[in-house]
Amino acid sequence: MANELVNGLTLSEFSCAMEVNGGLLFEQVVPELMCERMKDDIFFYYEKNRELQIAAGLGEVAQWAAHHTCGRKDSIHDFLKADYLHYYLTEYFGGKPYILNAINASINAPIQNGIYEHAHKWHRDIRSYVSLGERQMVIALIMLDDFTIENGATQVVFGTHRTRHIPPEDFLLSNAKSVSGKRGSIIFYDGDIVHRAGINLTEHFRVGLTCLFTKPYYKQQLDYPRFLDKEYADSLSTRMRQLFGFNARVPVSMEEWYHPSGRFYKADQE
């Protein structure tokens, strides 16, 4: 899929949408069967994370979130390997390398089941605003279910990547767009775009997978090169090793600094 047009969208059209609106929707990119498998795998990670959340005293705050859903030869691995949006990610980052900063899942539960607090508040996925045009982070939110207004489709305020401060509540409410779409669609938006999950008024879970991509020098939310199991890491392709940040590592000892194979942080990781 790398270097292929999605939905017939040219790079010039993509660049214009990102500059003006800060985001766009790619419709039905990921195959239906892969989406179903990814949902199953996300619930595996959720159950695994849940024990840690509760042990850390975050049982209520982090409910319905699964963080860092990677490291297995599963459907999420297959999704990352497929590189569905590589063509556009490369354009977004000016032809330079990029890495996976984080990969997290949000399970938008029916309102009676409780909510994932962070996801339902207006927020940006990047903490520091630099300046317009300094593209530090972009997010791909994959719809693993149909996103509808009823089940809490993500609400996005396009254009907010142009302002340093998050606008007041009344402005956000007046300008928010609930991004509905079929399963397998991807909302692609700048890290400075203000957004939140809608409230799920149905009786069914609505699952999304969020992939955050950054320039290599931007610190990952989790040190994937050291987090990943060695057997899994050794099996990764050159492209996947780039994605997980193996070419932008920081040494932790003088032996690593003087490693005979060269610097951990490669010269091309601008």
Q: How far apart are CA 185 and CA 84, in angstroms?
A: 11
Nearest to 157 by CA among 22, 27, 16, 25: 22
Q: How far apart are CA 59 and CA 53, in angstroms?
A: 5
Q: How far apart are CA 131 and CA 125, in angstroms?
A: 16
Beta-carbon contacts of 72 under 8 Å, excluding residues fewer than 6 positions away, are 41, 232
Under 8 Å between Cβ of 206 and 143: no
268 lies in some domain: no
CATH number, domain with residue 150 = 2.60.120.620
Q: How far apart are CA 202 and CA 209, in angstroms?
A: 20
The pLDDT value recorded for residue 60 is 85
- Per-residue pLDDT tens, the chain, 270 aa: give them: 555 789 899 999 999 999 999 999 999 999 999 999 999 999 999 999 999 999 999 988 888 999 999 999 999 999 999 999 999 999 999 999 999 999 999 999 999 888 777 888 999 988 777 766 678 899 999 999 999 999 999 999 999 999 999 999 999 999 999 999 999 999 999 999 999 999 999 999 999 999 999 999 999 999 999 999 999 999 999 999 999 999 999 888 998 888 877 788 888 887
The pLDDT value recorded for residue 87 is 94
Looking only at the bridges linking them, the beta strands covering 177-178 and 206-214 are unpaired
70 lies in some domain: yes
The pLDDT value recorded for residue 2 is 58
The pLDDT value recorded for residue 137 is 94
Beta-carbon contacts of 234 under 8 Å, excluding residues fewer than 6 positions away, are none
238 lies in some domain: yes
- Please state the domain count of the chain: 1
Chain-centroid distance, C-alpha 249: 20
DSSP 113-152: G---TGGGS-B-S-S----TT---EEEEEEESS-B-TTTT
The pLDDT value recorded for residue 126 is 85
Domain that holds residue 82: 11-257
263 lies in some domain: no
169 lies in some domain: yes
149 lies in some domain: yes
135 lies in some domain: yes
265 lies in some domain: no
Q: How far apart are CA 113 and CA 261, in angstroms?
A: 52
Nearest to 2 by CA among 231, 232, 234, 238: 238
Residue 209 structure tokens: 């997978």
> b/e map of 91-112 (b: 16 or more CB within 10 Å)?
bbbeeebbbbbbbbbbbbbbee
> What pTM, to 2 d.p., does this model score?
0.94
Q: How far apart are CA 144 and CA 43, in angstroms?
A: 12
